Structure 1
Amino acid sequence: MLNPESIAQFSASLRGRVVQAGDADYDEARKVYNAMIDRTPRLIVKCRDVADVMRSVRFAREHSLLLAVRGGAHNGGGLGTCDDGLVIDLSGLNGIRVDPHGRTVRVEGGCTWGDVDHATSAFGMATPCGIISTTGVGGLTLGGGIGHLSRKCGLTIDNLLEADVVLADGSMVTASADKHPDLYWALRGGGGNFGVVTSFVFQMHPVSIVYAGPTFWELEKSAEVLRWYRDFITQAPEELNGFFAFTSVPPAPPFPEALHGRPVCGVVWCYTGTPEQVGGVFKPVREFNSPLLHAVQPMPFPVLNTAFDGLYPPGHQWYWRADFVNELSDAAIAEHVRFGAQMPTGQSTMHLYPIDGAVHRVKSSDTAFAYRNARWAEVVVGVSPDPADASKITAWTKAYWDALHPYSAGGAYVNMMMDEGEDRIRASYRDNYSRLAQIKRRYDPDNLFRVNQNIRPAQEAVAEAVVTP
């Protein structure tokens, strides 16, 4: 039974602390990045070390508590929290150790990518991550990890060398190519289905100063820009990454005041090549269709990764839908143009992230991330600081996605999905789903870790004897 005495005994066993309803910081502790999500956990455990995580997993299992795991709390669908259950808050596990000689970095499970960038940039290094520095390392990694360095360095999971994982029975193992290789395979794209990752070891790459920033065109030119972009980026050198976006120009420096708040289309660039090549690489960009603004400039990589932080702080309303895309047909572009002209708020957007280059050099069967042959990861996002806009941004996002889904590859990047049902999860893992379900049965047969894009444990086949007379 879960009673005050059992909670007190559990709390006394931890170095961290247990937060529950009635505590002064309970409402603050239960907040997540997306203010559209409002959950009331029974217990929130602010873990300070791996032992706290192990004890929390055992306590949740022994008391049949719904269990959620929170790293950076960015998950759009609110899958880092739950009602009436136990939330493992990893934010206290935030140590980082850089090995500059081996070009690796060990990162604890509560870190954000801003923490990692700060540590690795001192050595002129980086590991592939996302585009917002406040994103948690754990959630982004376990779903795959698409970002500014994908074309050159691969997904985040392509740079994951090992992980320490607390399993459903409360034990801890290390997963790598040599140790628990099946679990290592599953962690690379399979989400939080297999345990609580308390630390990651990543490969680093020499990335220091990048040439980055947006190029904006008038919204009325979006069809022409999209047709140009689909050909340009797939032929560009892998050192150049650029995601297409419908957006509104942020009303703040360094953007010209005359453009503040203006809806535009554009591409956000990141180039990791040499200074001598910058001019030639961006020449066709500057010359295409008279951009409103071409703001590419040299900057430290961490500066690029913080560029969106101020535009998207915690506490806004979020609703998003996603798909993988193999081809940008003219018919699909026409739908993009239609909905891009209807962005309901200044922070609502649509991004097309290129995932070719180094991503394509890994087979779909080599990791749980199945869409290795896709060209783009598409996400439609309705965002507003005003709760009154929740229905408006949700309706626009759903309608946009409904119109584009027939042109998609079928599944989606799990980090950018809401709670959309088992069929969507299966479509997002394609042929890898059955293997994931088998691994789930081995490491979490009772589905303790189910507050996620859930992969159900495979059921044992029951052979029935047939008796013939």
Structure 2
Amino acid sequence: MALPEVARASLVGELRARVRGAVIDRDHPEYDAARMVWNGLIDRHPEVVIRCADLDDVVACVDVARTHRPVVSIRGGGHQVAGSAVCDDGMVIDLSRMRDVIVDPVARTARVQGGARWADVDAATQSFGLATPGGEVSETGVAGLTLGGGLGLLQRTHGLSCDNVVSMTVVTADGAVRTASADENADLYWALRGAGRGLGVVTEFTFALHPLGPDVAAAAFAYPAEDAGAVFRAWRRLASEAPPTIAPQFALWALPPFPGLPDEIVGVPVVLALGTYIGEPADAAPVLEPFAHLGAPILDLSGTSTWVEAQSAFDFALPDGGRYYWKSHFIDELDDETVDLVVAHAARRPDPRSAVIVRTLGGAIDRVGADETAFAHRGTRFNVSVDAIWSEPGLDDGSIAWARGLWNALEPASRGMYLNFAGLGEEEGAVDGLTLGEHEERVRRIRRAYDPEGVFEVAAARP
């Protein structure tokens, strides 16, 4: 419910008096643009969006929120599927103008502001032949992905995004600016790496960097959809034997319009077997060669590219304003029954752009202790993501029902849910039990300690 006019005027007036950045209320000409996020399925109407110019603006926003107590959401890149960056009838603390990345090539670290996207990070770090684990789409926000754990192409070699965070600058609910690291506010540091929301506004991350690039080699083979079951089983063996220099992926999808792809092939349902070698391209052949022998491939898109190109290769298939509903499970075993279930359900997807994607875990992810961060899914072998993707509003119900249907069918095998692929939250309510597992109560204690008045409470409850 919208705030009463007097309360709204008081909230907006105080923000305009204290903030250097733009304060955009419902009457502002940029309001509709400011409330939009990447997922076109999200249509929320906040009372006010504050495009913060700097750390002082964030502190002012938190102070005002503590006084006026609106619902608060925090926008980094605005790319998270559930759309938690924007709220109805509340206040959006928008960091999207805070995108600086400062690299120290000697220390091999990068300081990254909370509104940056992975494209910003990759461009800056690759200037020095360095990288840190990020998302698989370059427009993904650094903050949202990292605070939820951070799966990506480097995960089996260098760990999750959250595993590579050295420290964070956080504005907590009392308006204090704190450093969260192994040496300062260690409990907050622990919780922010995987539990993310409801703990404060992270305005800067410091990441550890690793040598990589400029070029990487990747395998990308398309197999006929009618061979999906056999290819999936062969891929399952490949994934179990893969070294940690690669994170094999399997996708039931339709071919997007890759550059140079013949028109008659675009949109054709296929099975994709994918893997990027994290190391020197000259050493990649023995690791990537098995991807070509999972059946009889109909298309080979393998090759060498820059790391920046590899990180942005699928951006065009996931445009701003598309409609997205993604849910996932962490699963240990892909037995034959599960394989057949996934293949059969994928064949019934209502839009060919929808996909089922299986990512291989392990490697460096499991070299971090199960209790060292709030990320609760170490030791699991796969993440199965059901990704409904479409553009026509008339397909909303059918696409969401398709994704929920497979997610529900896989639930008996689940060891939990990835916070960043958690649907919209409208059916789960609070998702802490599914996303945080045994860490749920510890995270709640830390949230209460840093936010006893519940300033960020709604943000914490939303996936």
Smaller-chain TM-score bracket: over 0.9
| SS of structure 2 residue aligned to 1:223 | helix
* Residues 238-249 of structure 1 mapped to structure 2, 5 A cutoff: 238-249=244-255
1:244 Cα offset (Å): 0.9
Match of 2:3 in 1: none
1:294 Cα offset (Å): 2.1
AA at the equivalent of 1:440: R
| SS of structure 2 residue aligned to 1:344 | coil
Match of 1:350 in 2: 356
Distance 2:164 2:343 in 1: 36
Cα distance per residue 1:265-293 (max 9 Å; x no partner): 11222112333332222222223311112
Change (3 A) 1:436 1:5: closer
Change (3 A) 1:423 1:59: closer
1:240 Cα offset (Å): 1.6
Q: Which moved more, 1:101-110 or 1:7-16?
A: 7-16
1:455 Cα offset (Å): 9.0
AA at the equivalent of 2:259: P
Kindly indicate whether the alpha-carbon contact (under 8 Å) linking 1:380 and 1:401 is maintained by their aligned counterparts in 2: yes
1:334 aligned onto 2:340:
yes
1:182 aligned onto 2:218:
no
Cα distance per residue 1:199-220 (max 9 Å; x no partner): 0000011111111252111111
Kindly indicate whether the alpha-carbon contact (under 8 Å) linking 1:54 and 1:170 is maintained by their aligned counterparts in 2: yes
1:101 Cα offset (Å): 0.5
Change (3 A) 1:73 1:6: closer
Match of 1:465 in 2: none
TM-score (norm 1): 0.94
Change (3 A) 1:433 1:9: closer
Q: Which moved more, 1:348-357 or 1:147-156?
A: 348-357
Kindly indicate whether the alpha-carbon contact (under 8 Å) linking 2:22 and 2:52 is maintained by their aligned counterparts in 1: yes
| Residue identity (%) | 38
AA at the equivalent of 1:133: S
AA at the equivalent of 1:352: V
Paired residues in the alignment total 455
| SS of structure 2 residue aligned to 1:241 | coil
Cα distance per residue 1:12-67 (max 9 Å; x no partner): 22110100112111001100111111111001000000110011011112001000
1:367 aligned onto 2:373:
yes
Kindly indicate whether the alpha-carbon contact (under 8 Å) linking 2:11 and 2:64 is maintained by their aligned counterparts in 1: no
Kindly indicate whether the alpha-carbon contact (under 8 Å) linking 1:240 and 1:273 is maintained by their aligned counterparts in 2: no
| SS of structure 2 residue aligned to 1:106 | strand
Kindly indicate whether the alpha-carbon contact (under 8 Å) linking 1:126 and 1:207 is maintained by their aligned counterparts in 2: yes
| SS of structure 1 residue aligned to 2:152 | coil
Kindly indicate whether the alpha-carbon contact (under 8 Å) linking 1:234 and 1:356 is maintained by their aligned counterparts in 2: no
Distance 1:304 1:439 in 2: 38
What is the Cα-based RMSD across aligned positions, in Å? 1.6
Cα distance per residue 1:141-163 (max 9 Å; x no partner): 00000011001010001100000
AA at the equivalent of 1:444: D
Kindly indicate whether the alpha-carbon contact (under 8 Å) linking 1:45 and 1:87 is maintained by their aligned counterparts in 2: yes
1:303 aligned onto 2:309:
yes
Kindly indicate whether the alpha-carbon contact (under 8 Å) linking 2:103 and 2:110 is maintained by their aligned counterparts in 1: yes
Change (3 A) 1:56 1:324: same
1:256 Cα offset (Å): 3.8
1:442 aligned onto 2:449:
yes
Cα distance per residue 1:295-326 (max 9 Å; x no partner): 11111111111111111111011112111111
Match of 1:116 in 2: 121
Match of 2:410 in 1: 404
Q: Which moved more, 1:99-108 or 1:427-436?
A: 427-436
Q: 2:440 aligns with which of 409, 433, 439?
A: 433
Match of 1:413 in 2: 418
AA at the equivalent of 2:320: P
* Residues 148-227 of structure 1 mapped to structure 2, 5 A cutoff: 148-208=153-213, 209-227=215-233
TM-score (norm 2): 0.95
Change (3 A) 1:237 1:5: closer
* Residues 311-326 of structure 1 mapped to structure 2, 5 A cutoff: 311-326=317-332
1:363 Cα offset (Å): 1.4
Kindly indicate whether the alpha-carbon contact (under 8 Å) linking 1:269 and 1:296 is maintained by their aligned counterparts in 2: no
Kindly indicate whether the alpha-carbon contact (under 8 Å) linking 2:355 and 2:388 is maintained by their aligned counterparts in 1: yes
1:62 aligned onto 2:67:
yes
| SS of structure 2 residue aligned to 1:240 | coil
Kindly indicate whether the alpha-carbon contact (under 8 Å) linking 2:277 and 2:288 is maintained by their aligned counterparts in 1: no
1:5 Cα offset (Å): 5.1
| SS of structure 2 residue aligned to 1:118 | helix
| SS of structure 1 residue aligned to 2:84 | coil
Cα distance per residue 1:165-200 (max 9 Å; x no partner): 000011110000000001000010012220000000
AA at the equivalent of 1:314: D
Distance 1:52 1:333 in 2: 50
